[in-house]
Structure 1
């Protein structure tokens, strides 16, 4: 099953839009190839509210979030799905403005074979005019309330459950709004594109496990931080899983043909993709290959990096 992508072209940056009785959104004016129309900040509840994914450091967006609140409203919690720079950095300024507690999964583990310093996001692939990768991490993120899987946060009219979903990055959380059976998915699942997995902070095996984990929940809607809502969530998640499984099969097929380098696989595997996005594609292929090495299907004699040679075992 192909992924049934959903798109939203007509949006207004910096304008509060009520989506449901419990959910409002404000979209930051930071559109791009990895953020789509921009970072969506969600306001959950009424009277006493939670804010999900405050976004990047952006004064105009901070003002827009504050303006979206009623004068008498109190922000009790600022929830961060993960610490990429388009999601978490505004949390501190928002905390200063509102007095709310910052909540998130702080720990980032990186004890795997891949050395971050060896990853070159501009690996030479044909003559592509590359877009810079926008996956900088806020390394100093220090939440007031560290969250773990299945932790619950409450307001007068809302209940949010943290769901640990590593993969895109290993401190990624989704948040389930029980009252509406809606999951705020951060970058774990997006409607307009697949999520980029960038080792070593991202891990494909973890990502696949996290997709399966979401399937176990009784949910009716997904709300990513970038792009529109996703209906029929379980079918969409299954399509994501199938897509990744097929990509792995394609990578194994390339190896079977004697193609040993990622930079030679990308133009074949992503023939219909904008060449500017090849660095992101290369990262995802690297993540797949890391998993295949871990499971013993593929051999890499050297350190696992974009320029390595990979072969079938």
Structure 2
């Protein structure tokens, strides 16, 4: 038996609180650094008495060291949060670790539908069925229940809600044989062996995104999915919803820390290292987005006032500007190859501002509301 698994079992049953002289136990099976220049993360890490991280073994530009999946609990039945994207090596390591420590996965909680989080669901269930078939009838065996927030009329990533949906008949025979999941409601508390996980619907990165709040005798913590990462910032589909979700996460974390308390509450992110000061990190994310919004508004104002300089000097004031003009103003210190990606974020900020009535758009150009006369606007 590999020594790494022996070390993992020992750490799982005899965890000591990490300190500067006693760092958290980490189990290395092989190098887990990615080509992105991010710091290494061991493939299996016992992070606390309640939480073990299993890396999804899918490093990349957008996944950092890989997707973090988390085993929750310390009994014979435990919970898995997210499943990676389906790498066979991940499932082999997860199965070996579970067998060595002595537990089965009774439930899988999904943070959101993206493939690097739900891609392993099918194999998780297939492996569970194989184990069940190998056991004696009196030994039972667990087929995990899959939990996920359910959008209206949702069919994503091969997952199916338990309740039949009227549009299934239109999807063909293959659609009837996907894995089912139990829809989790916003604020619903799921009770397990010695702990609970409460789901909070936090859209923005994805419409079905959930964060999970862990409460147990040994730990309270948040599993943030992709709303907050251990390194850098994340992408989002809807900035207004995303900021609302971050505010909600901040409130949950602040309540857990206590009013005026210096107690820091951990956040376990979908990618990257553990965040020790969860509330501080969420407020940092909010501040970053608010700062970017101020910069975009400032760029619109400077363009109107003729205060934007390019290689040929100051440009004349204009009533409205295109997205790439804003990008070139704000990201002039960055390579032009990054401007396309930056433009997507600028558009999402402008869309939020437009919904709030602070900017207007016409023919692909944008202006601040109330700062340019209607007569000048109509000349475009």
**TM-score (normalizing by structure 2):** 0.66
Q: Cα–Cα, structure 1 residues 139 and 284, in superposed 2: closer, same or farther, change >3 Å?
A: farther
Aligned 8 A contact 2:147 2:183 in 1: yes
Which segment is superposed worse, 97-106 or 245-254? 97-106
Please list the CA deviations of residues 230-279 of structure 1 after superposition, one character each: whole Å capped at 9, or x if unmatched. 12222221121111111111111122233722233334434566766544
**Which residue of 2 is the match for residue 311 of structure 1?**
367
Aligned 8 A contact 1:106 1:141 in 2: no
Q: Please, which of 7, 19, 29 is the counterpart of residue 47 of structure 2?
A: 19
- Tell me if 1:80 matches 2:110: yes
- Tell me if 1:107 matches 2:130: no
**Which residue of 2 is the match for residue 165 of structure 1?**
202
Aligned 8 A contact 1:300 1:309 in 2: yes
**Which residue of 2 is the match for residue 62 of structure 1?**
91
Q: Cα–Cα, structure 1 residues 41 and 277, in superposed 2: closer, same or farther, change >3 Å?
A: farther
- Output aligned runs, 1:211-250, within 5 Å: 211-217=246-252, 218=256, 220-250=265-295
CA distance in 1, matches of 2:361, 2:45: 50
Please list the CA deviations of residues 37-70 of structure 1 after superposition, one character each: whole Å capped at 9, or x if unmatched. 1111111112111111101122112222222213
Q: Cα–Cα, structure 1 residues 109 and 256, in superposed 2: closer, same or farther, change >3 Å?
A: farther
CA distance in 2, matches of 1:230, 1:91: 26
CA distance in 2, matches of 1:51, 1:279: 37
CA distance in 1, matches of 2:349, 2:98: 43
Greater helix proportion? 2
- Output aligned runs, 1:51-200, within 5 Å: 51-70=80-99, 72-98=102-128, 99-107=143-151, 138-143=156-161, 144-179=181-216, 180-197=219-236
- CA shift, 1:8, in A, is 6.2
Aligned 8 A contact 1:32 1:38 in 2: yes
CA distance in 2, matches of 1:64, 1:277: 37
Q: Secondary structure at the match of 2:118?
A: coil
Aligned residues: 270
- CA shift, 1:224, in A, is 0.3
- Tell me if 1:209 matches 2:254: no
Q: Which ranges of structure 2 fall in alignment gaps of 5 or more residues?
A: 1-36, 129-142, 162-180, 258-264, 304-319, 370-380
Q: More relative contact order in 1 or in 2 (CA 8 Å, sep 6+)?
A: 1
RMSD in angstroms over aligned alpha carbons?
2.4
Q: Secondary structure at the match of 1:235?
A: helix
CA distance in 2, matches of 1:41, 1:274: 34
Aligned 8 A contact 2:56 2:83 in 1: no
- Tell me if 1:44 matches 2:72: yes
